[in-house]
Amino acid sequence: MQDKLLTSAAKHLLQYGPKVIAKPLTIVPFAIKARVIEKLMDLLLAQQVEDEELDFLTQRWVKIEIVDMGLSFQVSFDKGFCVREAGEAEVSFSAQTKELVLIAAGKEDPDTLFFQRKLAIEGDTELGLEVKNLLLSIEFDAMPALIRESISRLAVLLQRLQNRAEANWA
């Protein structure tokens, strides 16, 4: 009985957790979300910026969609990150929160998730590959400790919930 209850709770957390977290974000103006995203990208991609590896993003827009949170934004780079809410993007990446966190923590490979249809990449294939390779070049251990620890703990929690949710299906 307890196993079924825990399994059910895990499934519900995976399904509804991102929606609950996203709810308060709906009242935050996009301009504030954009600044936070820009600052996070500055932190996460500082080495790539320093090494001038982002020139391929100049005047090009990449859409990121976190499907289960209903969060979508576009990113470009021109001497700094630019984030906007909508417009024409050349390539689009979309996935659920869980998959994006696992990619960020290095626990899942984007190619594997793509072929499992858990990560959608649409549009300019060449730009999509460049962005994917850029993301793979991020050294997880080089991330600021707070971000690294947060992503790592969240990834472990998500994996445990997923394992629990799948326990009765096996």
CB 165 within 8 A of CB 10: yes
56-65, 109-118, 150-159: which is most confident: 56-65
pTM across the whole model: 0.79
Compute how many other C-beta atoms are within 10 angstroms of the C-beta atom of residue 93: 24
What's the pLDDT score for residue 3?
A: 63
Homologous superfamily of 2-167 = SCP2 sterol-binding domain (3.30.1050.10)
User: Is 87's pLDDT higher than 70?
Assistant: yes
Mean pLDDT, residues 54-82 taken together: 92
- Under a CB-based contact definition with an 8 Å cutoff, are residues 74 and 85 in contact? yes
Are β-strands 119-123 and 91-95 bridged in parallel, bridged antiparallel, or unpaired? Answer: antiparallel
Give the pLDDT confidence of 121-153 residue by residue, as tens digits: 999 999 998 988 887 777 767 777 777 787 788
Per-residue pLDDT tens over the stretch 1-27? 556 665 666 665 666 666 667 777 788
| Count of other CB atoms within 10 angstroms of residue 158 | 20
